[in-house]
């Protein structure tokens, strides 16, 4: 029979060890979170280089307008809008952004992905269909690091120029002082980590599926 004293000490060591692991993981997450916040672009570094296509990930204000504007400025030969609900056609999209250039209609494609993994997957299929070798990726600034991670993994041979769209509600310069912005970055960082781990697993197991 184990004496109460030694048994309590053994349990205490286990709990201390578990607590130490939690503290290390939390410290690593916090350090990575702060580093991740620095990856979020605060400017458009390249606004003029033409690409074969422009890809817009829907889900926030200003993205579709930016994509159509880039197309009309001839910074891409085609436009692919990823993440549109089924049944939405190109004319509806053009109506939303209050542009009706008929000549552009045949140069716009749409997809219906429901997450960033799906955005990258359906864009990769579209890229292969049209022989696209370079794209300008339009999405929200806070969404850009995770989008680049997914897009580089899905189409490693395609050059990707990031074209972030900035929201007035996203207080990037002092994100730590704004709980809503900090929470949004934390969610994006966590999803970024999950996507990274999924890609590592997929590299070991080709049958591994996507995370949500």
pLDDT (tens digit per residue) in 181-203: 889 999 999 999 999 999 988 87
Query: Do both 96 and 138 map to the same domain?
Result: yes
On whether both 82 and 7 belong to a single domain, the answer is no
- Domain-embedded: residue 135: yes
Give the chain's domain count: 2
Residue 212 lies in a domain: no
Q: CATH code at 62? A: 3.40.50.620
**Residue 65 and residue 122 in one domain:** yes
Q: Could you read off the pLDDT of 113-147 as tens digits, one per residue?
A: 989 999 999 999 999 999 999 999 999 999 999 99
**127 and 33 housed in the same domain:** no
Mean confidence (pLDDT) of the chain? 84
63 and 151 inside one domain = yes
Residue scoring higher pLDDT (18 or 49)? 49
pLDDT band, residue 1 (cuts 50/70/90): very low
Q: Identify the three-state secondary structure at position 164.
A: strand
Same domain, 118 and 81: yes
pLDDT of residue 164: 96
Q: Which of 23, 57, 26, 37 is nearest to 187 (CA)?
A: 37
């Amino acid at each position: 029979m184990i004496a109460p004293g030694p048994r309590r000490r053994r349990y205490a060591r286990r709990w201390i060890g578990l607590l130490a692991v939690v503290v290390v993981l939390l410290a690593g997450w916090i350090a990575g979170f702060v580093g991740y916040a620095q990856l979020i672009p605060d400017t458009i570094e390249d606004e003029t280089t033409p690409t074969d296509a422009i890809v817009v990930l829907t889900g926030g204000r200003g993205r579709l307008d930016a994509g159509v504007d880039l197309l009309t400025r001839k910074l891409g030969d085609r436009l692919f809008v990823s993440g549109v609900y089924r049944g939405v056609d190109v004319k509806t999209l053009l109506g939303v952004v209050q542009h009706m250039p008929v000549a552009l209609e045949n140069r716009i494609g749409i997809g219906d992905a429901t997450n960033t993994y799906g955005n990258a997957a359906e864009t990769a299929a579209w890229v292969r269909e049209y022989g696209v070798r370079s794209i300008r990726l339009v999405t929200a600034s806070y969404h850009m690091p995770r989008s680049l991670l997914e897009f580089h993994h899905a189409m490693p041979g395609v050059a990707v120029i990031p074209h972030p769209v900035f929201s007035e509600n996203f207080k990037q310069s002092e994100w730590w002082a704004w709980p809503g912005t900090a929470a949004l970055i934390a969610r994006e960082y966590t999803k970024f980590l999950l996507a990274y781990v999924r890609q590592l697993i997929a590299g070991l197991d080709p049958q591994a599926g996507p995370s949500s």
